[in-house]
């Protein structure tokens, strides 16, 4: 399996090279040169596999088979808080919540990152290399990255968060990880200041090389690949490949819904993709009227979807444009320059035949959380609620098609919104119940580049040996 860039100018790579590179050197995103497709009989044969076994089989199809995948998947998902790893919970006569939040940080990013940390470590170890991962977080992504990298021998990780501006749960999920390769820095400033510092470190070429800076951001192909298996697990459980299913995904960067699209491309009968947005509704506007124009990001009750430029959309665009790298590059360049993406009408029509867009504001989100609680005693977090409301509003006309809703965060991760809607404050799962008693370790530093770089340098245990 080789990977090519959506912008057509990068040399083809194998899975491991794509894992380490992240972005292609022409600015594009890596996609498989050809999509692996399974027959109905091959899909049927995977029914009933334990989740780690299913994940290992699917990842092998993407060229990750040189790694000890089965052991990695067993380890990555062994610590999850549910024996099914990704349980499917029926919400009403046709909607099913696919719970992706039983990992260490209670959100779906763990599904990919728990595996990615191990993959990175394995490949770096084999090459005798090491990296320093730096990142900025406003809350959630930082803890998923820290849990993915903790105790990995070839990785050091430094995460910047804005001092006093994350919730206490979010801060403690990061700062109570006392592994020696993890360092948390509370920056005196806001999230933008943290992000600017990370960008400045990457732009400081000598520092970047000295520290071997790296990131595990959401455009990394391996993250998408690691998200395909749970859609396969859910579809197979509901009768695929002998029965059609639909999927509803609360969406930000388009990574999670793209993984569902990949599952369809591999031969699973997914009839529709329903995209749920909060008031940051660029994707819904695109599907409604071919208007892909970025607007200022506004805060909402579902902060992990407060995104205006859905970076993984480029991979779908590449397909919609007939895998024409030059056309994709041109479209993306114009989007950057003009703030509006010129998608040809035929490509837009193709997208609307498969994708349906739905927008829900904060009031609607609270009333959906209340609805799920009063009708079925199901406590949903605000992101998941956007997905369930979208599923109910835009389910396929054929009522025999069940809808799989990606439940992306545990309700205890967003207790304030859940309590406002239902009067119930969801408790943390038992394995995190002592979070508020755990020792924390972090440094508070001023937001100037010299100070932060010195802290990163001091932390990085370089290849001294």
Ligand X SMILES: *Cc1c(COP(=O)(O)O)cnc(C)c1O
Residues belonging to the active site: 109
Closer of 282 and 332 to ligand X (Cβ):
282
Contact residues for ligand X (CB under 6 A)? 107-109, 140, 218, 250-256, 304-305, 383, 408-409
The minimum distance between CB 141 and ligand X, in angstroms, equals 7
The minimum distance between CB 174 and ligand X, in angstroms, equals 15
The minimum distance between CB 227 and ligand X, in angstroms, equals 8
The minimum distance between CB 254 and ligand X, in angstroms, equals 5
Closer of 141 and 184 to ligand X (Cβ):
141
Closer of 98 and 327 to ligand X (Cβ):
98
The enclosing H or E element of 256 equals helix 255-265
Tokens at 325, concatenated: 């790298």
The residues, any chain, with a CB within 8 Å of residue 135's CB and separated by 6 or more, are 141, 142, 145, 157, 158, 159, 160, 198, 215, 216
Distance CA 438, CA 457 (A): 27
The minimum distance between CB 245 and ligand X, in angstroms, equals 19
3-state secondary structure of 375: helix
**CA distances, 167 to each of 256, 317, 394, 431 (Å):** 25, 36, 33, 19
Spatial CA neighbour of 162 closest among 117, 131, 140, 193: 193
The enclosing H or E element of 384 equals helix 382-394
The minimum distance between CB 384 and ligand X, in angstroms, equals 8
DSSP per-residue codes, 68-97 = -HHHHHHHHHHTSSSTTSS-EEE-SSSEEE
Closer of 43 and 108 to ligand X (Cβ):
108
Tokens at 218, concatenated: 């959401």
Sheet holding 182-188, edge to edge: 213-214, 131-136, 155-162, 182-188, 443-446
Closer of 109 and 172 to ligand X (Cβ):
109
Closer of 338 and 416 to ligand X (Cβ):
416
The minimum distance between CB 353 and ligand X, in angstroms, equals 21
CB contact at 8 A, 380 and 411: yes
DSSP per-residue codes, 265-323 = HTT--EEEEEEEE-S--HHHHHHHHS-EE-------S-GGG--SS-TTHHHHHHHHTTT
Closer of 404 and 452 to ligand X (Cβ):
404
The residues, any chain, with a CB within 8 Å of residue 433's CB and separated by 6 or more, are 427
């Amino acid at each position: 399996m080789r990977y090519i860039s959506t912008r057509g100018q990068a040399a083809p790579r194998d899975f491991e090279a794509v894992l380490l590179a992240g972005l292609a050197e022409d600015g594009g995103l890596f996609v498989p040169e050809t999509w692996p497709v399974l027959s109905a009989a091959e899909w049927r044969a995977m029914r009933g596999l334990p989740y780690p076994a299913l994940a290992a089989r699917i990842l092998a199809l993407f060229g990750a088979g040189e790694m000890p995948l089965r052991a990695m998947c067993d380890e990555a998902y062994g610590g999850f808080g549910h024996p099914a790893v990704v349980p499917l919970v029926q919400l009403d006569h046709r909607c099913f919540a696919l719970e992706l939040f039983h990992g260490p940080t209670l959100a779906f990013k763990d599904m990919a990152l728990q595996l990615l940390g191990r993959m990175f470590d394995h490949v770096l170890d084999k090459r005798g290399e090491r990296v320093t991962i730096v990142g900025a977080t406003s809350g959630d992504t930082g803890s998923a990255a820290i849990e993915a990298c903790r105790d990995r021998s070839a990785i050091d990780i430094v995460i910047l968060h804005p001092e006093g501006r994350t919730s206490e749960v979010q801060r403690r999920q990061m700062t109570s990880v006392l592994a020696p390769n993890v360092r948390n820095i509370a920056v005196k400033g806001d999230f933008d200041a943290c992000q600017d510092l990370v960008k400045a470190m990457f732009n400081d070429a000598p520092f970047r090389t000295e520290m071997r800076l790296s990131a595990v951001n959401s455009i990394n192909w391996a993250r998408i690949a690691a998200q395909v298996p749970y859609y396969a697990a859910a579809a197979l459980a509901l009768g695929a490949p002998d029965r059609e299913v639909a999927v509803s995904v609360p969406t930000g960067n388009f990574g999670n819904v793209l993984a569902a699209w990949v599952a369809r491309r591999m031969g699973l009968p997914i009839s529709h993709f329903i995209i749920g947005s909060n008031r940051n509704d660029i994707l819904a506007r695109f599907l409604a009227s071919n208007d892909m124009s970025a607007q200022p990001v506004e805060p909402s009750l579902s902060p992990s979807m407060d995104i205006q430029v859905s970076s993984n959309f480029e991979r779908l665009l590449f397909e919609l444009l007939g895998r024409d790298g030059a056309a994709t590059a041109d479209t993306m360049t114009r989007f950057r320059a003009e703030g509006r993406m010129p998608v040809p009408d035929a490509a837009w029509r193709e997208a609307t035949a498969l994708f349906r867009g739905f927008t829900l504001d904060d009031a609607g989100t609270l009333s959906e959380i209340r609805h799920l609680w009063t009708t079925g005693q199901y406590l949903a977090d605000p992101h998941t609620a956007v997905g369930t409301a979208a599923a109910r509003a835009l389910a396929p006309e054929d009522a025999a098609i069940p809808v799989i809703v990606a439940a992306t965060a545990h309700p205890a991760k967003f207790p304030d919104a859940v309590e406002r809607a239902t009067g119930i404050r969801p408790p943390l799962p038992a394995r995190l119940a002592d979070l508020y008693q755990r020792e924390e370790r972090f440094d508070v530093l001023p937001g100037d580049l010299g100070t932060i770089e010195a802290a990163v340098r001091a932390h990085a245990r370089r290849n001294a040996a």
